[in-house]
Amino acid sequence: MPRTARKKFNEAFYHIMSRSISEINLFQSDEDKSYYLTLLKKYTLMHQCSIYAYCLMDNHVHLFINPQGFDISKFMHCLNNAYVSYFNRRYQRRGHLFQGRFASTIVTNDAYGLTLAAYIHNNPKIYEKYRGREEDYPYSSYGIYVGKRQDVEGIVDKNYILKLFSVDPKNAVKKCYYFTKMMTNSGIMTELDSEISNAYTENAYRSEKRVVERTFNPEMIIEKICKLIGEESPENIKVKYNREKTALRALAVYAMRVFCGYTFKRISHYLGDMSLSGVIKLAKEGFKLSSEKGLYQNIFTTLKLTKIT
């Protein structure tokens, strides 16, 4: 039977769960978990997504993610494939590691978002060492929320969850902690009713979902980049062997991936049948440029936050 199409829409937040095949743990060591977080950071930045909560268990992963309009299937495909490649190389094995497709549930409202974060953060209770002090588990975002540890990986966007609890940062952290503790042994996968939700929020903050526009055509992107960079001829992006325009091509290729949703193959055809390896190399260079402080980062931030006309 054909598999059911995954439910997706541009403004959706998602609860993602990926599980390993039954005969092997997804993570064999703490180093594996650290590497997965490195990949999560990389692809979150690369595709301009936000992670609100996460927890890495031995045989599965929970993510609360706002892809900001990016295709969640593409995001997880990149993340999981990169981890499988690392895992198989490290442990000298071949074949599948994840148990089928990742599971995804759309977060339908802010109350469910609070419930979901608490559910994710309570996962370490299955480990006797962390039962009753789940916030001490080092491979969960819980400790980051309540100040137990620093977000050294730079992954978590805490604003969405904490501002639902309170506009005062200290009060928000306190409420987040007690709410999560309260939910430890309850049926927290069901949505909270409005009374419980109101008891733990001040109603002083209105959630505003921000979505990155992902449907621009390449001409609009390239024209905007050229204006910002001071390039007179957009056609120079298609000149393969002009080294002076490498930065322009790299930034444009990366922008086409992020803002146009183009595959590498489609970008290759657009540029005049450039090799896939060449396009992938340019995309990586564009990502690197956009991550460095200075002109190119400012250009990319402008593309992300402004309407292209």
pLDDT of amino acid 146: 95
pLDDT of amino acid 189: 39
pLDDT of amino acid 4: 52
pLDDT of amino acid 307: 54
Q: Burial level of 59, CB count in 10 A (0-12/13-18/19+)? A: middle
- With a cut of 70, which residues of the chain have pLDDT below it? 1-10, 185-215, 236-244, 273, 292-309
Query: Could you give the domains of the chain?
Result: 13-199 (3.30.70.1290), 218-305 (1.10.1750)
pLDDT in tens, 50-108: 999 999 999 999 999 999 889 999 999 999 999 999 999 999 998 889 987 888 888 88
